[in-house]
Structure 1
Amino acid sequence: MTVLARSLFLSLVLAGLASCTAIAALDRAAEPQNVYELRPPDDIPVARATRSTQLIIEVPTASGAVGTDRILIRPTPSQIAYLPDARWSEPAPVMLQTALVEALLATNAFRFVGRRPLGPSGDVALVSDLTGFETRIAPETGTNSVQIRLTVRLVRERDARILATQTFASSVPIPDTSTPAIIAGFEQTSADVLEQTIRWIITAL
């Protein structure tokens, strides 16, 4: 076989391998994923009287790693991975916004709770930063946990004055890194953070 023939043969083999790799990637992408949704906690405080406040819940800001519908795993402090067989029903910040709106509506504490005001502006907006929403893996110690951290601000809309600020965080150990254990950890931590946040909002306003 001449040099030219060998080169042509090698090029065809490499092209075939690349094609197989692309097809395999497409096959993996087409595999069905389990979809999960975090719901508001059951133990929601109910106000004795409805206040006249119109409360707007904005979508929490988040980094690109967190602001997705992928379920974040952090094997090391500087490494990011995602569960291959599961995802959230919405991007994590939007899912958290939905849970907050539903939970605050259930408290009957405000005249109106929504994602957008009824008129040009609302009375108070809840502005937040979702700085932690992940599973942390520590193979050297065998301690795995789900962690959520949310910083919230109540902002008066007419003059953008910050009325109150607070950070809520929760960390729950999980027995292993299976998908059911991770989802159960997220359910527990999100319920804890949401309940803390809701009680604080009602008290602060």
Structure 2
Amino acid sequence: MRVLMPLKACSVALLTLSSLSGCAAVSALGSASEVLDVYELQAPRTLPEGPVRARDVVIELPTTTGALQTDRIMIRPDPLQAQYLPGVRWGDATPVMVQTLMLRTLEASGRLGYVGRRPLGINGDYAVLTEIVDFQAEAVPEGPGAVVVLSLIGRVVRESDLRIMGTRRFAVQVPVASVSEAEVIAGFDQAAQQLFAEHGAWVLSVVR
């Protein structure tokens, strides 16, 4: 995992949103004047070998809930509450980061003619649509640890006739020993490596 140089040292505690709600809470976090340490997750470097196809694939910006429309790193103390690790953030908002990881994974495969956020012409050959379901750590009630939970729903659409060529749900869970900054980020990186490797291999199997 490559981690951007921290801007400052910080102790890890949970930043609660109990006094804020919905998009207002996310907006307030994003506009805070506090300087935050920045982390980036790395895309898988290798995918299974296979045929090269001269296809243009567009990775659309993923959709998700309001609580994940932020660059803050989510941790849930229970299924109904969204909190964020203080003093740290992702390099981009979660949907943009996920889009980048999918794009870089497919680019690294060398098996497509073009992979991008926008088509080269009016349309690409295929579009990858994604719904982010989970992208958080979840505290373990009976101990100091947590579980990093990543899941998404992917769809590949053929642009020529708008036919859905495939739909699949991807889910990865990685336990971590504590909710410390280092443990949680390492857990996210491990989970992301597995998730995007599986997603990239699937997209390549669907694109013809």
The two structures have a TM-score, normalised by structure 1, of 0.82
The separation in 2 between residues aligned to 1:53 and 1:101, in whole angstroms, is 14
- Runs of 5+ unmatched residues, structure 2: 1-27
Provide the residue aligned with 2:205 in structure 1.
203
Q: Percent identity?
A: 40
Q: Secondary structure at the match of 1:155?
A: strand
What is the distance in 2 between the residues matched to 1:196 and 1:91? Answer: 22
Q: CA deviation at 1:46?
A: 4.1
Partner of 1:69: 71
SS in 2 for 1:70: coil
Determine the structure 2 residue equivalent to 1:45: 48
Measure, in 2, the Cα distance between the counterparts of 1:199 and 1:73. 28
Alignment correspondent of 1:158: 160
Hey, what does 2:16 align to over in structure 1?
none
Q: How many residues align?
A: 177
What 5-or-longer segments of structure 1 have no aligned partner?
1-24
2:118 corresponds to: 116
- The Cα of 1:124 is off from its aligned counterpart by 0.4
Aligned structure 1 segments of 4 or more residues deviating by more than 6 angstroms: none
Residue 32 (structure 1) aligns with: 35
Per-residue CA deviations over 1:74-109 (Å, capped at 9, x if unaligned) read 001111100111000001111111111111111111
Q: CA deviation at 1:73?
A: 0.8
- Greater CA radius of gyration, 1 or 2? 1
Alpha-carbon deviations, 1:46-68, whole Å to 9, x = none? 44x42121101011111011121
Structure-2-length-normalised TM-score:
0.81
Q: Once the 2 structures are TM-superposed, how far is the Cα of residue 140 of structure 1 from its aligned partner? A: 2.6
The structure with the greater share of residues assigned to helix is 1
Letter in 2 for 1:40: A
Q: CA RMSD in A?
A: 1.5
Instruction: Report the alpha carbon displacement of residue 39 of structure 1 after superposing the two structures with TM.
Output: 1.4
The answer to whether structure 1 residue 185 and structure 2 residue 178 are counterparts is no
Aligned mates of 1:101, 1:116 — CA distance in 2? 11
Which residue in the other structure is 1:84 paired with? Answer: 86
Q: 2:166 aligns to what SS in structure 1? A: strand
**CA–CA distance in structure 2, aligned partners of residues 91 and 115 of structure 1:** 15
